[in-house]
Structure 1
């Protein structure tokens, strides 16, 4: 029996498998060039799919312990930014495999942490995986995992002392405006409570502008203490600075100032 927790990386393994298979198929097609030079056209999609597969593979490696353990270091950064406010009650919106929840629970011996996630079918995460990890890490008594959407959290206003979220808001499918995920997360934060959000806030595909993000947070009754590129707080080796990886990732820290 394996007694070690399993924290899967943020990159879907199915994506890597798809692009790797496509690369192999295109390369095989180009090998038919002796029959007709037209088969050399397969080298074009091979180059594209091969490049994407390489970026995905290297990203998985960088996130994993043997490649620098950047996923753990990013979670550590979020816990550090949450600071003393990790005592009391904390919420992680989009808890995935439970890694950040466990870190928050271990940061302070008397706090309680709740993790919520939709655990979609295309992710290798589950509620059971989270609960198993928390049990193996010795914090199961102070952690709870619930299946919920970040678009409509099933908690009363001001339920938590701390709210964190890591690379989740842009993934919430049932939100027309991704910034509304921040509004919902801030709704359940008590006045005076601290939040730490990490997401692709610099990506115009998800957020119109950094000013829009700032206005949304302030409109939700929260102040901004820190708003910076992730690379400014944590060195990101290749290929994590790539725009399709964490190149647009930004860290926002602040407190709830109003109801």
Structure 2
């Protein structure tokens, strides 16, 4: 029985939209709107409505996306994790960029034989932590089969071919140590055993994060990937506004396959 059933406490998974930038843009919007009231003194103050409108639009996008990802707004964060989980195979699974542990825990709950590791850097810019991950796993009744550790996707503290399956959700483009984000894909394949499977969701079509689009396929093939499936997320599920926008999930693709057996 999960701890949540006995204590009444519910897991805290949060959403991918951070509170800090949402608050900052909301304050900027309110500030410029307030300053525009100086138009009673000078008409030049009307120009302040331009940045107020721009910051207001960003605030709207962030707030609505956060709502869409939440449990009350369509649960799209959970649906995306479920999509990735449905492709996971094997008993030793690694979740790269586990956040607050939702995907890692979902993968563990699916199969009682699985041992899952969640890896995250948990930087100060994010509202995630190892402690919250561990508490969530305890509440979900899988604490004995899910371990969480700090590390970077740029150089993971695991041996070659250590896992049967590697999954990752919207993480590789956030790896600041790497100018070429596809190097994180190579690192993920390094720790995958021959014959093992991988499932990566990231903004692979975003030219800002991945300016050399052909490199992704090259990294996959160099890492021994076969049976590669590369599908836009929007073709796998209907994404409402603003999730279908380029600043949210328009560039997201689900890339999966397996590592060629030796």
When the two structures are superposed, what TM-score results if normalisation uses the length of structure 2? Answer: 0.95
Task: Quote the offset at 1:2 in angstroms.
Answer: 6.0
Q: What SS class does the counterpart of residue 141 from structure 1 fall into?
A: coil
Residues 110-135 of structure 1: CA deviation (Å, up to 9, x unaligned): 11000000000011100000000000
* Aligned counterpart, 2:222: 219
Does structure 2 conserve the Cα–Cα contact (< 8 Å) formed by 1:222 and 1:258?
no
Secondary structure of 2:241's aligned partner: coil
Does 1:196 find its partner at 2:237? no
Where 1:192 maps in the other structure, the secondary structure is strand
- The DSSP-based 3-state class of the residue aligned with 2:238 is coil
Bigger mean CA offset, 1-10 vs 214-223: 1-10
Runs of 5+ in structure 1 lacking a partner? none
How far off is 1:258 after superposition? 5.3
Whether 1:22 and 2:28 are equivalent positions in the alignment is yes
Unaligned stretches of 5+ in structure 2?
A: 1-6
2:258 is aligned with 1:252: no
| Counterpart residue number, 2:190 | 187
* CA distance in 2 between partners of 1:210 and 1:189 (Å): 23
Per the TM alignment, residue 211 of structure 1 is displaced from its structure 2 partner at its CA by 2.6
Q: Report SS of the residue matched to 1:66.
A: coil
Q: Do 1:178 and 1:206's aligned partners in 2 also have CA atoms closer than 8 Å?
A: yes
Is 1:110 the counterpart of 2:116 in the alignment?
no
In the TM superposition, residue 6 of structure 1 has moved relative to its aligned partner by 0.3
Structure 1 residues 167, 13: CA separation in 2 closer, same or farther (over 3 Å shift)?
A: same
Q: Partner residue of 1:148? A: 151
CA distance in 2, matches of 1:108, 1:209: 38
Q: What are the superposed Cα offsets for residues 79-132 of structure 1, whole Å, 9 maximum, x if unpaired? A: 1122xx1x3100000000000000000111111000000000011100000000
Deviation, 1:209, is: 4.2
TM-score, length-normalised on structure 1?
Answer: 0.96
- In 2, the alpha carbon distance for the partners of 1:199 and 1:152 equals 18
**Which of 50, 55, 64 is the matching residue for 1:58?**
64
Matches within 5 A, 1:1-259: 3-82=9-88, 85=89, 87-257=90-260
Q: Is the 8 A contact 1:167 1:200 kept in 2?
A: yes
Aligned residues: 256
Supply the RMSD in Å over aligned alpha carbons: 1.1
Contact 2:207 2:213 in 1 (8 A): no
SS in 2 for 1:163: strand
- Alpha-carbon displacement from aligned partner over 1:233-257 (angstroms, at most 9, x marks no partner): 1111110011010010000010011
